[in-house]
Structure 1
Amino acid sequence: MKNLKIIFFVLLIAANYSKALAQKPAVVLSDKQGWHKIGENTVSFNTDKDEIMVIGANKFSSLQLKVTNAPVNLKSFDIYFDKGDKQSVSVSQNIKDPGETRVVKLEGGGERVVRKVILTYNTATGNSGKKAHVEIWGLKTNTDKKDK
């Protein structure tokens, strides 16, 4: 019985470790004004919670999520900033294919450094087995840069 518990514990750790390795950070290379795709994921049919790390030129004033391939039930998403604070965005909406959320202005004014976004959602039922594809877009206004 003790060996069975140890094997179960090792399998549990291995499953969580492989899921962590599957997460690819979004690398934003451009600092030009406008909208930039900062992350994407395919959504399962079960309630899913995905974490998307953002590195590189990661200062934004607003975020928006876009949906393709199938509708999605978006419950919420949390935006984590460089100083450890977070902004929770409650959505609780079915987003059609194609569709998008409202533009979410980041709290604190100006541009903020976004470290990660955690999404809570699932693909809506009745879509012929297709899985939703969700993209996270960030708006760069460069309001903190001085004109030269």
Structure 2
Amino acid sequence: MKKLLLVLLLVASQPQAWAQKPKIVASDKSGWHKIGETTVDYKTETDEILVIGANRFKSLQVKVTTATVNLESINISFDKGENQSVAIGKEIKAPGESRIIDLTGTGERNVKKVVFKYKTLSTAGDSNKKARVELWGLKT
């Protein structure tokens, strides 16, 4: 009960957290887990996903559905304030995925937040669609 109250207080004390949609990863089982998703907006060029709960991962992968996205880079924030910037520089057509991104350090890392920098591309057939970007994490 105390842990739940602490998490609620942390979220309430950060107004920007209400605009974001954290995904709680409840399982520590080995394998790939969907961490969260966001819908790419044609008006902005960045989005972020907060990670709460069982947030230890060895690798990450980005999957794109619905429409094409030019994923320029992602910035991964870990606990203790460390960051890992990863240049992607790839157009990902829907349905598609990025390469597997191994997290720096040894073993699994506590991921707190992932920020996507992208450009939404309008192509024939999906010009009226917004891309859905999913973040997946590998637990070992």
Sort the TM-score into its range (normalised by shorter chain): 0.7 to 0.9
Q: CA deviation at 1:22?
A: 2.3
CA distance in 1, matches of 2:62, 2:127: 23
CA distance in 2, matches of 1:138, 1:48: 23
1:41-80 map, 5 Å: 41-80=38-77
Aligned to 1:121: 118
Aligned to 1:131: 130
Aligned to 1:7: none
CA distance in 2, matches of 1:140, 1:107: 14
CA distance in 1, matches of 2:98, 2:15: 30
Equivalent pair of 1:71/1:124 in contact (CA under 8 Å):
yes
Equivalent pair of 1:35/1:137 in contact (CA under 8 Å):
yes
Q: CA deviation at 1:121?
A: 1.1
Equivalent pair of 1:38/1:136 in contact (CA under 8 Å):
yes
Aligned length: 125
Q: Which runs of 5+ in 2 are unaligned?
A: 1-13
Give % identity: 59
Q: Which runs of 5+ in 1 are unaligned?
A: 1-16, 142-148
Give the 3 Å change call, closer, same or farther, for CA 25–100 of structure 1 in structure 2.
same
Give the aligned residue type for 1:32: K
RMSD: 1.6
1:106-117 map, 5 Å: 106-117=103-114
Give the aligned residue type for 1:44: D
Runs of 4+ more than 6 Å apart: none
Report the TM-score when normalising by structure 2: 0.84
Give the 3 Å change call, closer, same or farther, for CA 35–43 of structure 1 in structure 2.
same
Give the aligned residue type for 1:116: K
Aligned to 2:94: 97
CA distance in 1, matches of 2:45, 2:34: 21
Give the aligned residue type for 2:130: K
- The structure number with the bigger radius of gyration is 1
1:39-81 superposed Cα distances (whole Å, 9 cap, x missing partner)? 1000012342112110100000000000000010111100000
Aligned to 1:32: 29
Equivalent pair of 1:67/1:134 in contact (CA under 8 Å):
yes
